[in-house]
Structure 1
Amino acid sequence: MDELKELTKAEEQIMQELWELRGGFVKDVIANLSDPKPAYNTVSTILRILENKGFVAHESFGKSHRYFPKISKEDYKKLITGKLLHNYFGNSATSMLSFFLEEKKMDVNELDEIMQIINKNR
């Protein structure tokens, strides 16, 4: 697969729905979106863009297309996290974790979970 690029906010919103649905028609994606719902043509266009970018594929049913993810949510998460780590934290997981700790983005329970993960992976 060619190198994947980050998604725009609108593309990511559509991908989130496709991952949840595990695929679907434009009308299925729209039904899952919160109000105010975008126009059918807007969602259809975004799905075609996602297909051109290599994130989704489709199967045809007459004039209708059922879209499905070509990349897993987990793989996209790795891509985005890797870029975040590289671009903002100099590839240092310590720097990234320190940032979240200093910004108080974690509560005590989350810190306990992190400690358990660290101890498990020693």
Structure 2
Amino acid sequence: MKELTQNEERVMRIIWSKGEALVRDILEALPEPQPPYTTLASTVKSLEKKGFVKYRAYGSTYLYSPKITQEDYSRKSVNSLVKNYFEGSVGNFLSFMVKENKISDKEIEDMQKLIDDMDKPEEK
């Protein structure tokens, strides 16, 4: 899967939230200052070429929808982040997040519960 630029990711978030959208729908969902329509259309076309969106044509209008889920993209992005910046270690990543105060005590407790639950044998 190819990387998305910041603008492409912003557009994908809109498409993911709407499920499908015309370029003008995406434009209306963007905050001010909005890019020119043609610039946005080029961004969406780039997303199509990268395999992130598909489209259905209605005359000269295209309705775009995601080809990849937001969850799949998030998983790939986090895995890439851990691999490229934390020597492939989830422990290093979590340690960084704790040191930077990006994880609350509640989130740490929730993660510990997930880990504890994973260690329990499944009941049959």
Q: What is the TM-score normalised by the length of structure 2?
A: 0.91
2:3 to 6, 20, 40: 6
RMSD: 0.9
Q: Who is 1:74 aligned against?
A: 71
Q: Who is 1:36 aligned against?
A: 33
Which runs of 5 or more structure 2 residues have no equivalent in the other structure?
120-124
Work out whether 1:114 is the aligned partner of 2:116: no
Deviations 1:39-62 (A, max 9, x none): 211111100001011111110000
Q: Distance in 2 between matches of 1:14 and 1:71?
A: 13
Q: Distance in 2 between matches of 1:26 and 1:47?
A: 8
Q: CA deviation at 1:21?
A: 0.6
Q: Distance in 2 between matches of 1:82 and 1:8?
A: 17
Q: Distance in 2 between matches of 1:45 and 1:5?
A: 17
Q: Who is 2:23 aligned against?
A: 26
Q: Distance in 2 between matches of 1:21 and 1:37?
A: 18
Q: What is the TM-score normalised by the length of structure 1?
A: 0.93
Q: Distance in 2 between matches of 1:108 and 1:85?
A: 22
Q: Distance in 2 between matches of 1:20 and 1:54?
A: 18
